[in-house]
Chains A and B, each alone.
Chain A
Amino acid sequence: QKEVEQDPGPLSVPEGAIVSLNCTYSNSAFQYFMWYRQYSRKGPELLMYTYSSGNKEDGRFTAQVDKSSKYISLFIRDSQPSDSATYLCAMETGGGADGLTFGKGTHLIIQP
């Protein structure tokens, strides 16, 4: 079983819809949780960064972490065609030196 599971999609929704993206993980040592957005042929771009359990909001984006369930989510409100991209969840233990463990990414398509 891979450490981080993420549905690859594609997930297609109409413009203006609320999008929910999710990841599950198995390593209880993960403490820092991130969401990256990656456009085609570009590098990953950090969207949200959270520590431990709880919610964090930034504009149209909300990240949720439930460590008891080993489950993280990203919500996108009022989705726009420009949100069409691959969304990668990533996490680390906090030791700092051993890098991020990524999900495979979810390909999101926002239909105009």
Chain B
Amino acid sequence: NAGVTQTPKFQVLKTGQSMTLQCAQDMNHNSMYWYRQDPGMGLRLIYYSASEGTTDKGEVPNGYNVSRLNKREFSLRLESAAPSQTSVYFCASKTPGGNGYTFGSGTRLTVV
């Protein structure tokens, strides 16, 4: 099925550990996004990529890095995880010409 695939679905990290969240879309979309969702805060943009080879910071980029590996894949890396990064992370891609964004099913990350 066409859509946005995120891995892993769940992860527990210790403070200071690193990890990479993977995202891939098979809809040939140019623009891809990483959001985090926290209780009472809604969805907030971490980083986005308007096209292959370009990335830009969103509202809450501190503590994260991203890589747009190719048109399909957009990864999010936590170099040194902190408890404040405990959240649900969503990847999304934008349909060209309008008609919204497609979201993945999310990665639930807990940092202890």
Chain A interfacial positions (CB closer than 8 Å to B): 6, 8, 32, 34, 36, 41-46, 49, 51, 88, 90, 96-100, 102-105
Report whether A43 and B90 are in contact in the complex, using a CB–CB cutoff of 8 Å: yes
Report whether B105 and A42 are in contact in the complex, using a CB–CB cutoff of 8 Å: yes
* In the complex, chain B residues 39-76 whose Cβ is within 8 Å of any chain A Cβ: 40-45, 48, 50, 56, 58
- A25–B31 Cα distance when bound, in Å, is 24
| CB nearest neighbor in A for B103 | A43
B102 partner, pick from A6, A8, A46, A97, beta carbons under 8 A: A46
Q: How far is the CB of A7 from chain B (nearest CB, A)?
A: 12
Is B84 positioned at the interface, with any CB of A under 8 Å from its CB? no
- A45–B57 Cα distance when bound, in Å, is 24
- A34–B102 Cα distance when bound, in Å, is 12
- Give the size range of B's interface with the partner: 20 to 34
Contact A34 B48, CB 8 Å, known A44-B43, A102-B43: no
Dominant SS among interface residues on chain A: loop
Q: How far is the CB of B88 from chain A (nearest CB, A)?
A: 9
Chain A residues positioned under 8 Å from B45 (CB to CB):
98-100
Report whether A88 and B43 are in contact in the complex, using a CB–CB cutoff of 8 Å: yes
